[in-house]
């Protein structure tokens, strides 16, 4: 299973909002004319970096202009094919023209021509593929054998992210781009996607030993209730303070706790455990449980 970067199309990869009036056959925003298909600055470089990093590149686009009667599915394909030309698998030299459809950085394009306010009966509905519904993302995951756990979504509208989330993409892997959004553009999103994961913070294990005060009882921890209370208190303090308690062991005269924590934190843990259990033991037996030291 491959990871993928799912990309919205218009205003994520190609210019849309800033196109001239001549680009539209009807409602602005539904780009169905390949002659007005232009990449956003930095989009090609970003997509090439994602591809080189091993991600499948999958376009996920709503194209409700077809439902509104401004074009047909062939027009959607024409714009997508133009994007494939502008994003060839092999980089072009400066003087080269975009080649005919051949190998492209784009692995697949999924488009939904449906819209609930459409006038074309066949497409006048809120289809399962129409974002924010997850249909296109889910279909791509299934058909292209993609791993949603390692995949990302980048789009300029919340519905793009919602579609990905509903298909199993983690929220932290759904990136909103555009003016005034979380990230300015696809290039910035690519920096997030390709950033190395943070190194895990590894703490060496620290061990602390509490020694029982034997002046009143030579074997205070032989009492099962005392032993269980001390160990339960250790677990509760660890949970409350966020310290990972790796192990506890007790003899009749001492308790040993091993923690994934610094030595300073471990000694603080031991002091709190001594305080809490001394208070309990004093109330029950009229004497402290521990010597006033630990190691």
Return the active site residues: 8, 10
How many residues comprise the chain?
A: 295
Give the DSSP H/E element, type plus range, for residue 287: none
d(CA 228, CA 233): 8
Check if the beta carbon of residue 208 is closer than 8 Å to that of residue 267. yes
Return all residues near 282 (Cβ < 8 A) that are at least 6 apart: 288, 289
Give the DSSP H/E element, type plus range, for residue 294: strand 290-294
Rg of the chain (C-alpha set): 31
d(CA 103, CA 88): 6
Using alpha carbons, select from 142, 145, 178 the residue that is nearest to residue 18. Answer: 178
């Amino acid at each position: 299973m491959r990871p993928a970067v799912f990309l919205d199309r218009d205003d994520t990869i190609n210019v849309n909002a800033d196109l001239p009036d001549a680009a539209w056959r009807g409602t602005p925003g539904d780009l169905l004319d390949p002659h007005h298909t232009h990449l956003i600055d930095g989009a090609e470089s970003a997509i090439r970096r994602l591809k080189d990093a091993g991600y499948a590149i999958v376009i996920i686009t709503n194209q409700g202009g077809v439902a509104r009667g401004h074009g047909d599915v062939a027009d959607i394909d024409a714009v997508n094919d133009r994007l494939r030309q502008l994003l060839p698998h092999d980089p072009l030299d400066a003087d080269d023209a975009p080649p005919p459809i051949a190998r492209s950085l784009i692995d697949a394009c999924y488009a939904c021509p449906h819209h609930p306010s459409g006038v074309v009966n066949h497409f006048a509905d809120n289809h399962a593929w129409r974002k924010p519904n997850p249909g296109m993302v889910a279909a791509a995951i299934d058909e292209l054998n993609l791993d949603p756990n390692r995949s990302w979504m980048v789009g300029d509208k919340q519905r793009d992210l919602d579609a990905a989330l509903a298909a199993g993409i983690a929220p932290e892997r759904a990136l909103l781009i555009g003016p005034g959004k979380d990230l300015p553009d696809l290039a910035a999103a690519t920096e997030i996607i390709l950033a190395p994961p943070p190194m895990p913070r590894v703490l060496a294990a620290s061990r602390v030993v509490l020694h029982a005060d034997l002046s009143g009882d030579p074997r205070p921890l032989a009492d099962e209730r005392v032993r269980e209370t001390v160990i339960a208190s250790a677990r509760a303090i660890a949970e409350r303070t966020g310290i990972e308690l790796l192990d506890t062991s007790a003899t009749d005269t001492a308790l040993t706790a091993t923690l994934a924590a610094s030595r300073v934190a471990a000694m603080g843990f031991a002091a709190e455990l001594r305080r809490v259990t001394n208070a309990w033991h004093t109330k029950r037996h009229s004497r402290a449980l521990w010597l006033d030291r630990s190691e």
